[in-house]
Amino acid sequence: MDLPIPSLKSAALRGGVVLLSALALTLHAGSQTLTSFDDPNAYTLGGLGTEPTGINVWGAVTGVIADKAGRLRGFVRSPSGQFVDYDAPAADPVVGCTCPVAINDFGIIAGWAVDGNYIDHGFLRYPSGTSVTIDAPGATYGTRIQSINDLGVITGTWVDSQEVTHGFLRTLDGRFTSFDAPYAGDDGLDGEGTFALSINNFGVIAGYAKDSNGLNHGFLRTAQGKFTTFDVPNAIGNLLYNAFVNDRGIVAGTWIDEHSDECPCDIEAGFQRARDGAFSGYEGPYGPLQNVQVYGLNFEGTAVGWYADTNDDAHAFVRYANGRFLKINVTSELESVGSAINATGVVTGFWIDANGAYHGFLWSPKLSIQ
């Protein structure tokens, strides 16, 4: 998984063996309610544990664990708190992983698996427990599913024999459409190509294209194949590299902004793009947020992710469509990441304890989630 966090260990979990019971802890912070959880089979040591990546409207959560046999496996947690661990058919759970990224409102899980040769293969896992492997036609160096909508339509990336990345769309009946966005480079250098990252229920896809100069440009692709490209104002080198689109046509994501005089470096910043193309940035309680990663967006336009404080510690947040920003409180001493948000505003993610172990959480500003 790619969850870059300042000052944290890699979010890709690595295996080991330890006998610890599952954690079931409910915390309250003002009007916020947070439930922490561990997969019973998770190996909870430094840099290891339970890492949620997706949540649906019913509160079912999917994600990745490193189990007590040292395997990187997928999990699904039911709304009532029951866990099922699984391996995608193409996964090598020791050398590679099963890496789910999303679960739709009908319980279909999407993601990718890494095999023993370090090649990615997309997969879908159905509520029955059946999993299927999805490889895009012509994919030599791998296929990654990045998003699934409630109609079972998926989008993601595949890499050809020249190491050029292309976007794809796959319908529920298995029909593939490969596409390249405007500006996308095609010689495979510096990771050029088209990166499809999110799809809404109308079939609109959001992502970015990396051109031959190594610059990223955002795009929207309609279900009919029409592209709209965009660049975030003031983005250094047009370096947008994360984008999510909701059913209202709002886009949220992450881009590289030019830092102020505090240091000669660049920062990661959040952005919101309205349906009419107007942009807004992310303002925290003390001004513009620095080092922001956006990981999810719901129908209401509420985004979730993490930001870094002045000590470079990560904190999960929600950012509402009206610009209101709210930190998710785990404790003041711990780091946390918001991974996904559902239509009702419930957030899942993970927090990191004093020993560096990862624990999942469910958060709501109003509801008590058990």
φ, ψ dihedrals at 78, nearest 5°: -70, 165
Q: Is the pLDDT of residue 365 over 90?
A: no
Asked, for residue 219, whether it belongs to a domain, the answer is: no
How many separate domains does the chain show? 1
Q: Is there a domain that residue 39 lies in?
A: yes
Q: Residue 313 pLDDT > 90, yes or no?
A: no
Q: Are 164 and 189 in contact (CB under 8 A)?
A: no
Q: What is the pLDDT of residue 283?
A: 65
| Average pLDDT estimate for 9-38 | 45
Q: Enter the pTM of the model.
A: 0.88
For residues 39 and 72, what is the distance between their CA atoms, to the nearest angstrom?
A: 13
Instruction: Specify if 182 maps to a domain.
Output: no
Taking alpha carbons only, the member of 113, 204, 119 closest to residue 155 is 204
CATH code at 59? 2.120.10
Q: Which residue has the higher pLDDT, 359 or 262?
A: 359
Enclosing domain of residue 54: 24-134+231-364
Residue 1 lies in a domain: no
* 165 within some domain: no
Residue 206: closest CA among 238, 243, 180, 167:
243
Quick one: how many helices (H) and strands (E) in the chain?
A: 0, 31
Question: Which position has the higher pLDDT, 232 or 257?
Answer: 232
pLDDT > 70: percent of the chain:
83
Judged by average pLDDT, the poorest of 5-14, 38-47, 52-61, 188-197 is 5-14
Give the E-state strand segments of 83-150 in sequence order: 83-86, 97-103, 109-114, 120-125, 131-134, 143-148
Mean pLDDT of the chain: 85
The string of pLDDT tens digits covering residues 178-201 is: 999 999 998 878 889 999 999 999
In a domain, 128, yes or no: yes
Ordered DSSP codes for 317-348: EEE-TTS-EEEPPS-TTSEEEEEEE-TTS-EE
Could you tell me if residue 222 is inside a domain? no
Which tens digit of pLDDT belongs to each residue from 57-97?
Answer: 999 999 999 888 889 999 999 999 999 999 999 999 898 99
Q: Is residue 153 part of a domain?
A: no
DSSP reduced 3-state for 366: coil
State residue 160's pLDDT score. 95
